[in-house]
Amino acid sequence: MNKDFRKILEDLHIQPRDLSFYRTAFTHRSILNERKDIKQSNERMEFLGDAVLSFVISSLFFKQKPNDTEGDLTNLRAYIIKTESLAKAAETLHLGRFLQLSRGEEQSGGRDSLQLLANTYEAVLGAIFLDLGIMYASRFIQKTLLPIFEQELKLGAPRDPKSELQEVAQHKLQVAPRYKIITTSGPDHAKKFSVGVFLNAKQIGQGKGSSKQQAEEEAAKQALTKLLR
């Protein structure tokens, strides 16, 4: 593990024990094609980190916001746990510079990819959980992710276009919107999604984005414009 990253953890009062977890957390799958001595990428650790993140955020909000409804808590959690948010936290920590990437990924800007940075944040969180347990994983989240959302944590998340479309569609047409990926393009580290939103099998909006969630939100905004005319 890079000594600079170790210093980042120590500044957060996190003392790593088993460095192999963190080496894996910074191993992108692309490097496996070039380094036969490396056997495992960070994908499994990312999977674990995603689950830890959802649990910690849910637990914190449940305790800190006793008067919020389930819908309020779900909306705030979704607003915080998204690709753009995790990538921002990863950028603040400069996680991209510690990644082990193939030459191709390096040359095509993989270190700056929002999706790749978000995945790395989750993988690092998974490594902390495996190495030190849930308390330190929670500390990492509270010190690196939640401070980005100080205003939202006080006032609540802005209105989510997908939730608003759900309410409008139910009220006006008594149906729920359905989202479908229409096309994907680009390499894994910089995928672009085109998503359509449908009501009664009729497409009423389409959006594009660097993540499926972002594209769905753009599609929902377009649909709302049509429904609220």
**The token pair that represents 169 in the structure block:** 């569609």
Distance CA 215, CA 100 (A): 29
Contact 63/57 with Cβ under 8 angstroms? no
Q: Which CATH number is 3-155 given?
A: 1.10.1520.10
6 or 146, which is more confident: 146
Could you report the per-residue pLDDT of 48-104, keeping only the tens digit for each?
999 999 999 999 999 999 999 888 888 889 888 988 899 999 999 999 999 999 888
pLDDT at 189: 67
Domain boundaries, the chain: 3-155, 161-227
Q: At what angle do helices 212-227 and 83-92 cross, to 10 degrees?
A: 130
Secondary-structure percent of the chain, ordered helix, strand, coil, rounded to 5 = 65, 10, 25
Predicted TM-score of the model (pTM):
0.75
Q: What percent of the chain has pLDDT over 70?
A: 98
Q: Which CATH number is 161-227 given?
A: 3.30.160.20
Q: How many Cα atoms are found within 13 Å in the side-chain-facing hemisphere of 119?
A: 23
Could you report the per-residue pLDDT of 101-151, keeping only the tens digit for each?
988 888 888 888 888 999 999 999 999 999 999 999 999 999 999 999 988
Residue 158 has pLDDT above 80, yes or no: no
Please give the positions annotated as active site.
50, 122
